Amino acid sequence: MQVSSSLDGDSVSSAVGFNILQVIVVSAVIGIAALKAGRKAEPFLAVVESFLKIIQRVLWWIIRIAPIGTLGLIASAVVNYGWEKLASLIWFAVAVYVGLAIVLFVVYPILVKTHGLSIRQYYSGVWPAVQLGFVSRSSIGTLPVTERVTERNLGVPRSYASFAVPFGATTKMDGCAAIYPAIAAIFVAQFFGVALTPIQYILIIVVAVFGSAATAGTTGATVMLTLTLSTLGLPLEGVGLLLAIDPILDMGRTAVNVAGQALVPTIVAKREHIIDLDLYNAPRAGLPFADDSDIDEAELRVTDEAAGLVDDESEKATV
């Protein structure tokens, strides 16, 4: 967190900057310190876990009313900018969503299938986080749900997911830092009549790959778009041109980001043979993820079976 202020005549202005990489580093240091402290850190961990449970419950309420929020965002864009201005950018929006759809529904399923995992189970497991990301337009805001579905639905161990998902929230930006800036740069060049050279197309790829690591997982991709346009020498007026429909585009970008942030830990867990395939392939039954009571009951059942307290015949009859 960075706070700066400046004095201009009789007015004073201040600005607050947010860098998620700093948060990740500080969180890692605190986690290591708590681990080294051992039992003395248990009260601190209990408070943090309780706070996390509250946040998860609030986010699930948000997911339930997500369709209403989506309609509100679209209606607000229409009222503020009007149909005529939005219609002039409709083909650009279509191109962006086609690119996002190719990644989400073609590239990701190929990666899932090539690693021997069920495509249907992946989408049903990650869907609560994708839905919240679509409405919130923030990878960081969706982070608790993304981490939750990665653990409880996709079977990634908590010890790994708690590191990989937050790290991916700032480095895995397929929508905001790869697809959108590339298409936007080509659109701005065509709009202002600038012919792109092969070198500039290569620069688009380079900026998309390396710039994603510096893109915060908060609403909007204006910084990334500005970086791409300035690197290519294109008019920065194109940023203001695209802001008219940015809220609508940002919903799709964030949804793709969140899906990828859950996919990478799942693939790595599968490669390292640490994924819980039973949990990954478990029926969802329309639930966002397993409740804590389900976890406790499962653990108790395993304990009872190990102690010989569960009658196999009665279990079969119950099933």
For residue 69, the model assigns a pLDDT of 64
CA distances, 271 to each of 166, 267, 268, 275 (Å): 20, 6, 5, 8
Residue 236 lies in a domain: yes
For the whole prediction, is pTM greater than 0.85?
no
Residue 275 phi/psi, 5-degree rounding, is -80, 145
Please give the torsion angle defined by the CA atoms of residues 304, 308, 314 and 319, in that order, rounded to the nearest 10 degrees.
50
Residue 5 lies in a domain: no
Residue 2 lies in a domain: no
| Number of structural domains in the chain | 1
pLDDT, one tens digit for every residue, the chain (319 residues): 444 444 444 444 444 444 545 666 787 788 888 888 888 888 888 888 888 778 767 766 766 676 676 566 566 656 765 666 566 678 888 999 999 999 999 999 999 999 999 999 999 999 999 988 888 888 877 888 899 999 999 999 998 998 899 888 877 778 777 788 888 888 888 877 888 888 888 888 887 776 665 555 444 456 677 777 877 888 877 777 777 677 788 889 889 999 999 999 999 999 999 999 999 998 876 666 654 444 444 433 433 443 343 444 333 333 3
For residue 64, the model assigns a pLDDT of 66
For residue 277, the model assigns a pLDDT of 93
Strand partners, 12: 7
State the DSSP string of 29-42: HHHHHHHHHGGGGH
Residue 104 lies in a domain: yes
User: What is the domain extent for residue 173?
Assistant: 13-294
For residue 288, the model assigns a pLDDT of 63
**CATH number for the domain harbouring residue 151:** 1.10.3860.10
Residue 149 lies in a domain: yes
Residue 27 lies in a domain: yes
Q: What size, in residues, is the chain?
A: 319
Residue 88 lies in a domain: yes
For residue 21, the model assigns a pLDDT of 53
Residue 67 lies in a domain: yes
**Through-space distance between the first and last CA atoms of the chain, rounded to whole angstroms:** 53
For residue 103, the model assigns a pLDDT of 92
